[in-house]
Structures are given as C-alpha cells and as structure tokens.
Structure 1
Amino acid sequence: MSSPRQPGPAQASPSATGLAPAAPVLLSAGGAEVSVLPGEGCRIGSLRIDGTELLRTESPAQYGYGSFPMVPWAGRVDHGRFRNGQVSHQLPVDPGAAPHAIHGTGVSAVWRPVREATSATSAAFYTDLADPWPYPGRVTQTFDLRPDSLTVTLAVETAAESFPAQVGWHPWFLRRLGGHGQPARLDFSPAWQEERGDDHLPTGRRTEPRPGPWDDCFGMPDGVDVTLTWPGALELRVTSGARWVVIYDEPEDALCVEPQSGPPNGLNTAPRLVTLIDPLEESTTWHWRRLQES
C-alpha cells in the first residue's frame, strides 16, 4: 500500500498571514533533534537520538524518505474516484500506483508557519487545500518534541462545505541504525488484517493477522500501538488514537509504520465527514528509550 511516484501538482496558495514559505526548522530537546521540512510536504526530514539517525533521509522518490503527512486521504483511492453524497469526484491517478490516486496532496504542498516564530521544541504549519482536491479547507500540522518523545498532530478544517477526509503519517524507519547492527524487530497485536486484493486495495473482508512481509493494513480498535526495537540500541513505540495502521516492511533498508484515521480507500469505504463544527484531528506519538547492550 506504499508506492513511490514522481512529484505531483503543488498546492502552494497565498498566505492569509503574509508569511513566506518556511525554511527547514530544527527542533531539539535533550539528546533528540528533529528537522521539519515545510517546503517538502511538511515532512520530518530527520530524527536523531544522541546523534543516531532513525529515518531514511534521502530518496529520489517523493514518497521514499523522512516521515510525511498523508492528507486529505491516506493510502490509495480506487481509480482516484470518490463520492461526497451524490457528487462524484476524480483525483489524479498516480503513475507509481496506477490506476489509483495515493497518499493525499499534502506531501506535494509547500506549508507555511502558523506563527512567525517557533520555539526550540515546537512548531506549527498549515497549507490550504486546493486543486486537485475539490473542496476548500485548511490543514494544520503541529510538532511537539520532548527528550523522550515526539507528538505530531494533523487537523483538517473545511472552509464551507462538508467533505470526507483522512489523515495519516508515512515514516521510513531505518532497518539498521547506522547501516549496521541487528535489524529492527517489529511487535504489535492487531485485532484483524484487511484482506488485500490484487489491486492493492482492501477487499472489505477482515482476516486473522498473517505473517509478513507486509504491505498491508491492520485494524487496532483501541488505537495504534506498534513497537520497533533495535536490539542493544533503541526502542521506539508508535502510538495513535487512529484505529488503522499500514505496515510496509518489504524494503531491505527500511520499514514503515503508518497510523491512519481510516483504511486505504477509506474515502469510499469508511468516509469521515469534516464539517464546520466537526473538524478531523488526529495525533501520533513516537516514544523512545535507549537500551543497554547485554
């Protein structure tokens, strides 16, 4: 359910506050350092713990590095088509995920700071929804760094008409820290696995979780809770109030743990309406602890 592609249409829109697009922002707390790249889809470009990088930081593919927000949908949309009530819409089909649209428009947008200054440990950015998304609205993403955790929050608001939406995050965690050592171990206990069809979309049937490798969506009705352990080095726990998580661990050098507010193709199968009085907001927290060599 993950796939690289060439960069899509940008979403930059005039700033309501007059602020220019933000340069990369570095947050630090204790031994943790986070680089946020507002000009590259407001992704986390780097996460270092005591100087050790946890994320894949480079890729020729727009979707292949850091940790980027998926908004206003997450994963694939069937042939790029979705409905809002009786109105049908067509999103651009992604060449790398044909015949589907994938991962939202936020990753193609230039985001702007919500306020002039950021603190050493927190920052907030926004982008206005625009073509090819058919509804006006605003997405805000905030980052809150502490010495042992990072919390990221996405909020989607409509400017007028209600519309279905999803949010999620797509991090690329390194399989081996520093390119050496033992590979990361992944532990989680999903309630079900979404059966994946030949078209890479959930069929609508839920099955018992199956062994990996995965490019699959899992249900966690009590909230996402997945732990990555680099033996003798670091443990990182990914949590979220979201009820779905996509695990993509097929690459040799990285693996992805993607909390999502709905399953792939959820605009069609599990629509969550954003209204003037009910915006969509979701958070994810990465909490880490250092491990001692045995």
Structure 2
Amino acid sequence: MDRHHPDAAVVLRAADTELRVDPGNGCRLTSLTTRGTELLRQGARYGSFVMAPWCGRTDRGRFRNGPDLFQLPVDADPHALHGTVRNARWRTVRADGRSAAFTVDLTEPWPWEGRVTQLVELAEDGTGLTLTLGVETRGDSFPAQAGWHPWFLRNLGAGGEDVRIDFDAEWQEERGPDHLPNGRRVAPRPGPWDDCFGMPRGVDVTLTWPGELELRLTGRDEWVVVYDEQPEAVCVEPQSGPPNGLNTLPRFVTPIEPLEIATTWSWRHLS
C-alpha cells in the first residue's frame, strides 16, 4: 500500500493467489486470480462490491423507521438499489501482505451518520478468502442490511465448460412483477435466477467450472441472492436479509450492537 494515498489500490498475495482491492471505487475486489486464472468479471461496475446499508432493491426507495418515512434516491427505476457505498471512496486503515481493512462513512443520502468497515483476509495457503463487514452508527439507531455482490466469470476462458451453480435452499422468495419478494416462500425453482433463497443453516453455494476449479461460498447468515441471467458472469450474493429488507426484515444497528456479517470463499483446482 502507498502510505501517502490511503485510497490507492491494495494488492494482497498468498501462495499462487493474488487479490486486488480498489478502495477508491467502492472498496470492490477488482481481481482475484489463482494460478494466474481470473475468477471475477473485469470492469469498473463488476468485480465484487459491498452492499450497505441495504441490499438489492428497496421498494420505490421508501422505508420506515418507526413512524417516520424516508425516501432514498431511485437509481434502478422505480427502486433504490444496492446501498450507498458501492461507488464511494473508502479509506484504507491498514494493509499487509495477506489482509487489509477499509472504512467509509455513511452520509447523505442515508439519513443517519455511521460507518461501514470491510476486512479482507487471504488464507495463508492461498486457497481461500474471508470477507467481514461491520455497520456502525455514530448516534441514533437505524435499520440496515449488508452483503456482497460478486460477479464470477461464467467461463474461465481456457476452453472449458461454463460454471455450474449448486445449492440446497430451504425456500425461494417468490417475487412479483416489480422484482421484489411478495411475501410468499416457495420451493426452490430451476433457473435462470434473479432470486433470493433462504438457508437457515447458513449460506452454502458451490460454483464448479468442470475440470478446472471448484469454489465454495459460505456464511452464517441465511440469505443469498443468485443471479445468472447474463452471459458473461454469475452472481452469488450473501446478505443479512432479503431484497426490500429495510421494509420487511430490517436488522437494527444500535450504539452497542453493530450489524456484522462474514463470508468465506474457498477453492480447489480440479486439474
């Protein structure tokens, strides 16, 4: 890390794995390579970004905290999408060879002052990555969500097959024509998906590029969105609540209890 530029790109390495983080662009993971193979879709909008202080769509950008109604900017007509920090300029608090910590302040248009922290840690042997998020308030309590939106390449570009997505969810959140969960839980349906699934025993999804690589994504929280409707990449998004969760299932951040969530990605080469 360049100590004179706390938002400069951070590069972490362990064994044959290299991870790049860009705090100046939402603290997103811009590249994850193992044995020289890139796993994340490239581009300023892609990689893997943080969703906070809400995940997915918030209905018409509106939500309540007690009797008060709040309006967020609508950026995914007609909804507010993926929080306020994914394009923000974060600050690098510390970085060493295999881990780094970053923070960003919650400010307008979010109605309360707070802070989001992301800790990024590569496993010593280079076969895994753990991400941890914390959302804190600087004063009043507020409802919030947090999670990640990684874009994994559908094909690793070495002539192999496209990725396969395997998981065993207890339910699927049925969504209405507005793309929001309608309150009904249904048996998981076959893809393609832009859907939220419930895993009460914790998120556990496996991506397999046959003959090349297997990546398992896990976490203690029970919600995951799977999106595979684009030809270039697939998304597996662990999060602390379902889409529109500020209205339907908020987690409350208080001065003594932050919102915390973690996910681990572990991988093994198949050849």
Normalised to the residue count of structure 2, the TM-score between the two structures is 0.96
- Could you say which residue in structure 2 is the equivalent of 1:75? 56
Deviations 1:209-235 (A, max 9, x none): 001000000000111000000111110
Pair 1:36-2:13 in alignment = no
| Corresponding residue pairs, total | 267
Pair 1:89-2:70 in alignment = yes
CA distance in 2, matches of 1:281, 1:43: 18
Question: Which structure features the higher share of strand residues?
Answer: 2
The percentage of counterpart residues that share the same residue type is: 64
Deviation at 1:20, TM superposition (A): 4.8
CA distance in 1, matches of 2:55, 2:49: 11
Structure 1: state its 5+ residue gaps.
1-17
Deviation at 1:240, TM superposition (A): 0.9
CA distance in 1, matches of 2:224, 2:24: 26
CA distance in 2, matches of 1:21, 1:29: 22
106, 110, 132: which one aligns with 1:153 = 132
Pair 1:280-2:265 in alignment = no
75, 93, 96: which one aligns with 1:119 = 96
Deviation at 1:139, TM superposition (A): 0.5
Pair 1:98-2:83 in alignment = no
Letter in 1 for 2:151: W
68, 90, 110: which one aligns with 1:133 = 110
1:105-254 alignment, distance < 5 Å: 105-115=84-94, 118-146=95-123, 147-178=126-157, 180-254=159-233
The answer as to whether partners of 2:172 and 2:197 remain within 8 angstroms in 1 is yes
4+ residue runs of structure 1 moved beyond 3 angstroms?
18-21
The answer as to whether partners of 1:19 and 1:112 remain within 8 angstroms in 2 is no
57, 68, 73: which one aligns with 2:42 = 57
- Could you say which residue in structure 2 is the equivalent of 1:256? 235
Letter in 1 for 2:246: L
- Could you say which residue in structure 2 is the equivalent of 1:290? 269
CA distance in 1, matches of 2:221, 2:243: 13
Q: Any idea what SS the aligned residue of 2:41 has? A: coil
Deviation at 1:175, TM superposition (A): 0.7
Pair 1:45-2:30 in alignment = yes
The answer as to whether partners of 1:19 and 1:113 remain within 8 angstroms in 2 is no
Deviation at 1:180, TM superposition (A): 3.1
Deviations 1:83-103 (A, max 9, x none): 111111100001xx2100000
CA distance in 2, matches of 1:179, 1:248: 23
Q: Any idea what SS the aligned residue of 2:120 has? A: strand
CA distance in 2, matches of 1:180, 1:76: 36
Q: Any idea what SS the aligned residue of 1:170 has? A: strand
CA distance in 1, matches of 2:158, 2:180: 33
